[in-house]
Amino acid sequence: MSEGPHLLNQNFNCVCVCVCVCVRIKELCQQFPHGITDQVIQNDMPHLEPQQRAMAINKLLSLGQLDLLRNSSGLLYRMKDIQSTSKMKGSDNQEKLVYQIIEDAGNKGIWSRDIRFKSNLPLTEINKILKSLESKKLIKAVKSVAASKKKVYMLYNLQPDRSVTGGAWYSDQDFESEFVEVLNQQCFKFLQSKAEAARDSKQSPMVQRNSSFATSHEVWKYICELGISKVDLSMDDIETILNTLIYDGKVEMTVIAAKEGTVGSVDGQMKLYRGVNPVIQPTGLVRTPCGLCPVFDDCHDGGEISPSNCIYMTEWLDF
């Protein structure tokens, strides 16, 4: 389908024809809420010339009563919401364009530079438009957690996506380390008590080990029931916390195959976690002051810092 009709100059000879055509097109749109193509309009009013059709469509577009969409087979016209139509009253084309772009970005938001690329408008214009839209409470700016100076814009009533706000661990762009610590300790206590109960049960070793395991789902339920979290935590969040416990060396993980449909299984696998003891006691080197000395590399015989006059050693010896 050619785009010719949309770019034709307005032909003022057919104004009255235009009005009837506009009304007819609007009725057709209401009939087909999913949108109508040029073909449909042509079938309905076969006597209409392409120019007149284009004029009508352009008029409706400029009035903001019609939405222009493109699908695989060509252009689609759809009735616009009355509500959203009223919103845009008083805004000009540029604002509508910017608003469109922001709407398309969904809940991930879009950066002002990207708006500039997409709309080809100069920066000053963009800023003016963004300010006016914000004051009309149509869009809002959300600070991204990845780069704290970067602001992304999205529609006012949308929830920002997790990647922008950082998910459960961030509240107002601040990483909640105490929250993470508390969760860390709670999970560890849960796993440790489970392991102790298993060890005290004095059953055969295989049963002991299996009962000391907890699935990620169990841990998740336990944490939810504890109610220490204001935010809803998903199982993935709990798994990240359990991973930090693995990196602390307090917990180990195995993966077992589970039947689809058992509670907590993801893709036919379940992750099991178990509290473990450390393999060795703190090693000999760190029991001496030299092992922990901050100026270890500067220490020489007969130097300013030497074993003979080491204050750390003196303190340690008198302990």
Partner 1 sequence: MTAQEVRLCGLLLREHFGEVVEKVGRHLIRSGAQNLRTLLHETGISIDLVKKSLCVLVQHGVCVFSSGRKGPGSPTEYRTSCDRILRILRYPRYIYTAKTLYGDTGELIIEELLQRGDMTMSSTVKTVADRLTQNMEEGRSMDYSEVSSAFSKLVETHFLQRCPPMAAAATKNGAASATPATPATPGTPAAPVSTTLPTPESFPDCYRVPHVTLIGKGKRRLSNEDGEDQRSAKRAKIDSETHGDEGIYWQVNFERFHLHFRDQAIISAVANKLDQTSSEIVRTMLRMSEVTTSPTATCTKPLSANEIFRSLPSSYNIARPILDQYLTLLVDDPMEFVGKAGESGGGMYVVNLHRALANLARATLESVVQERFGSRSARIFRLLLRKRHLEQKQVEDFAMIPAKEAKDMLYTLLSQNLVQLQEIPKTPDYAPSRTFYLYTVNQLPTARMLLQNCYKTVANLIERRLFESKESKRLLEKSQRIEAILASLQASGAEPEQLTEVEEMITAPEKQQLESLRLHINKLDSAENQVDETIFLLESYINSTVTS
- Tell me which residues touch partner 1 (CB under 8 A): 169, 175, 177, 180, 184, 199, 204-206, 209, 240-241, 243-244, 246-249, 252, 276-288, 290-292, 296, 299, 301, 306-308, 310, 313, 316-318
Residue 167: both structure tokens together: 């998910």
Minimum Å distance from CB 136 to partner 1?
A: 36
Distances (CA, A) of 299 to 290, 304, 305: 10, 8, 5
Among 152, 151, 122, 154, residue whose Cα is nearest residue 137: 154
Residue 2: both structure tokens together: 């050619």
Q: Put the strands of the sheet holding 74-79 in their side by side order.
A: 36-37, 74-79, 66-71
> How many angstroms separate the CA atoms of 55 and 75, rounded?
15
Minimum Å distance from CB 243 to partner 1?
A: 7
Residue 65 or 243 having the CB closest to partner 1: 243
Minimum Å distance from CB 105 to partner 1?
A: 23
Q: Cβ–Cβ contacts within 10 Å for residue 300, how many?
A: 10
Minimum Å distance from CB 270 to partner 1?
A: 16
Residue 150: both structure tokens together: 């970067």
- Indicate the SS3 state at residue 193: helix
Task: Enumerate residues 6+ apart whose C-beta is below 8 A from 287.
Answer: none
Residue 72 or 204 having the CB closest to partner 1: 204
Residue 103 or 161 having the CB closest to partner 1: 161
Residue 156 or 296 having the CB closest to partner 1: 296
Minimum Å distance from CB 146 to partner 1?
A: 9
Residue 85 or 184 having the CB closest to partner 1: 184
Minimum Å distance from CB 221 to partner 1?
A: 21
Residue 111 or 312 having the CB closest to partner 1: 312
> How many angstroms separate the CA atoms of 305 and 293, rounded?
11
- Indicate the SS3 state at residue 59: helix
Contact yes or no for 66/55 (Cβ under 8 A): no
Minimum Å distance from CB 175 to partner 1?
A: 4
Helices (H), the chain: 4-7, 15-31, 38-44, 50-63, 82-87, 93-104, 112-119, 123-135, 162-165, 177-200, 205-211, 216-226, 235-247, 289-292, 311-318
Residue 53 or 274 having the CB closest to partner 1: 274
Residue 30 or 148 having the CB closest to partner 1: 148
Residue 66 or 183 having the CB closest to partner 1: 183
Minimum Å distance from CB 109 to partner 1?
A: 20
Distances (CA, A) of 72 to 1, 53, 69, 200: 11, 21, 10, 67
Minimum Å distance from CB 180 to partner 1?
A: 5
Please report the sign of the dihedral spanned by the C-alpha atoms of residue 38, residue 41, residue 46, residue 47: negative
